[in-house]
Amino acid sequence: MPRYFLELAYKGTQYSGFQVQQNAVTIQSEVEKALGIYFNQVFSLTGSSRTDAGVHALQNYFHFDTDIAIQSRQLYNINAILPKDITVKNIHAVSTDAHCRFDAISREYRYFIYKEKDPFLQDRAWFYPYTIDMHLLNEAAQLVMGSHDFTSFSKRNTQVTNHICNVQKSEWLVQGDCLVFNVKANRFLRGMVKGLVGTMLRVGRGIITVNEFNQIIQAKDCTKADFTTPAQGLFLTAVTYPNAVFNSTHP
């Protein structure tokens, strides 16, 4: 049966996360419903990267199997059914063994914070009106680079066999009126980005030292990290695959 990758973007404010949940409205449930209405068939989607309630995405993927020959021109109709805060950007025909979760080679996130009150940022960034030392932030961010056990930055009760992640990019930068943490890795643990942001901001404010931040990484103890970071500032910005995944002819 033919397989398709569905590329989408969404504003997660009104949703209980990416993946389907019982008695909750999620990105997956809305997309499955829209596809079902348009094609008059039940769809079961597999997600590439789960995002929690309130988290946004500029790029994320589902895959699904169907005998229906789906055309790119049908995107307009599917988007017309979807809520305004979810958009399907593309549909890719892929090989039958392609998997949007397991074939991904990296994922990239950005977390946005702002210092001056701004009503246009309140649901897309964290209002954080404190003096922050950028040099200290980036010293801490450099310690995140490379392959480490990130148990300290993973919420409990996660279904993973290990906590090793290979971080390829970790930096703080200024983007417009926002201070932004940009991080890229082969995989992320549940709550990892928010835990890193919250703990590094404590470094930037001088509450803990860079050395103490490094000790938190080494401790492999999630009670040491700060997970109070709210969801609205977090964006999944990219999910990357080998070129071979998309080598099938587009429908």
Q: What is the mean pLDDT of each run of 10 residues along the chain (251 residues)?
A: 94 90 90 96 90 93 93 93 97 93 96 96 95 97 97 83 94 96 96 97 97 97 95 96 77 45
As for how many domains the chain has, the answer is 2
Query: How many C-alpha atoms does 107 have within 13 Å on its Cβ side?
Result: 24
Please answer whether residues 85 and 14 qualify as being in contact, where contact means their C-beta atoms are separated by less than 8 angstroms: yes
Check whether residue 168 and residue 215 sit in a common domain. Answer: yes
Check whether residue 76 and residue 163 sit in a common domain. Answer: no
Among 52, 85, 123, 149, the active-site one is 52
Please identify, among 78, 103, 128, the residue that sits at the C-terminal boundary of a domain: 103
Check whether residue 113 and residue 82 sit in a common domain. Answer: no
Residue 251 within a domain: no
Beta bridge mates, 84: none
**pLDDT number for residue 41:** 92
Please identify, among 103, 125, 150, the residue that sits at the C-terminal boundary of a domain: 103
Check whether residue 84 and residue 147 sit in a common domain. Answer: no
Rg (CA), the chain: 19
Query: How many C-alpha atoms does 12 have within 13 Å on its Cβ side?
Result: 27
CATH number, domain with residue 151: 3.30.70.660
Please identify, among 103, 130, 161, the residue that sits at the C-terminal boundary of a domain: 103
* This model's pTM is above 0.85: yes
Full domain range(s) for residue 202: 106-237
**pLDDT number for residue 169:** 98
Check whether residue 86 and residue 192 sit in a common domain. Answer: no
Does the active-site annotation cover 52?
yes
> At 151, phi and psi to the nearest 5?
-55, -35
Beta bridge mates, 23: none
**pLDDT number for residue 251:** 45
**Which residues have C-beta within 8 Å of that of residue 225, sequence separation ≥ 6?**
152, 153, 195, 196, 198, 199, 216
Check whether residue 232 and residue 110 sit in a common domain. Answer: yes
Question: Helix, strand, or coil here: 114?
Answer: strand
Check whether residue 117 and residue 89 sit in a common domain. Answer: no
Residue 132 within a domain: yes
Residue 32 within a domain: yes
Quick one: tokens of 92? 């890719």
Check whether residue 96 and residue 195 sit in a common domain. Answer: no
